[in-house]
């Protein structure tokens, strides 16, 4: 009788823990789309976010923008939907934290699966709620 009680208690605790984990959206794994864009979230040619190339000290800062709401296919000149986050295109730690290459070009519209968190931010990132 004691082993049956322990078994039922263990089963209940496992079910309760699983239910609590399912409600915690902050650590969900999901897809995220990545784009090279300016500070306003306007998509630019992906070459501008290639830290292996030099653009003669351009005064315009470029960023890698990401969001679970970004899909593939936004063209150069398109303003990304609001709600995305960004980090500096040459931030190696932030790139690697998302499973992107630490250096080099990242193609516009790249989608990575198993990205942790929705709307979370990487080291050196800043949130932006730009309107379109």
Residue 9 covered by a domain: no
Confirm if 43 and 122 have CB atoms less than 8 A apart. no
Cα distances (angstroms) measured from residue 60 to each of 8, 17, 46, 92, 132: 62, 48, 14, 19, 20
pTM above 0.75, yes or no: no
pLDDT at 128: 38
Alpha carbons 49 and 45: distance in angstroms, whole number:
8
Residue 13 covered by a domain: no
Residue 3 covered by a domain: no
The total number of structural domains in the chain stands at 1
Helix, coil or strand: residue 85? strand
Residue 1 covered by a domain: no
Residue 90 covered by a domain: yes
Residue 44 covered by a domain: yes
**How many helices and strands (H and E) does the chain possess?**
2, 5
The arithmetic mean of pLDDT across residues 33-51, rounded, is 93
Q: Where are the alpha helices (DSSP H) in the chain?
A: 2-23, 92-97
Residue 101: count of CB within 10 angstroms of its CB: 12
Task: State which residues form the domain around 48.
Answer: 25-127
Residue 76 covered by a domain: yes
pLDDT at 60: 72
**Residue ranges with strand state E in the chain:** 29-38, 62-67, 85-88, 110-116, 125-127
Residue 11 covered by a domain: no
Least-confidence region, from 41-45, 79-83, 117-121: 117-121
CA atoms within 13 A on the CB side of 25: 3
């Amino acid at each position: 009788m004691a082993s049956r009680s322990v078994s039922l208690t263990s089963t209940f605790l496992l079910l309760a823990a699983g239910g609590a984990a399912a409600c915690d959206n902050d650590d969900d794994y999901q897809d995220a789309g990545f784009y090279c864009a300016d500070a306003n979230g306007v998509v630019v040619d992906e070459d501008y976010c290639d830290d292996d190339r030099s653009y003669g000290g351009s005064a315009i800062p470029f960023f890698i923008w990401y969001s679970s709401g970004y899909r593939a296919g936004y063209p150069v000149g398109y303003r990304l939907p609001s709600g995305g986050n960004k980090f500096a295109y040459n931030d190696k730690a932030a790139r690697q934290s998302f499973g992107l290459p630490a250096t080099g070009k990242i193609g516009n519209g790249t989608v990575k699966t198993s990205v942790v968190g929705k709307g979370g931010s990487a080291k050196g990132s800043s949130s932006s709620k730009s309107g379109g």
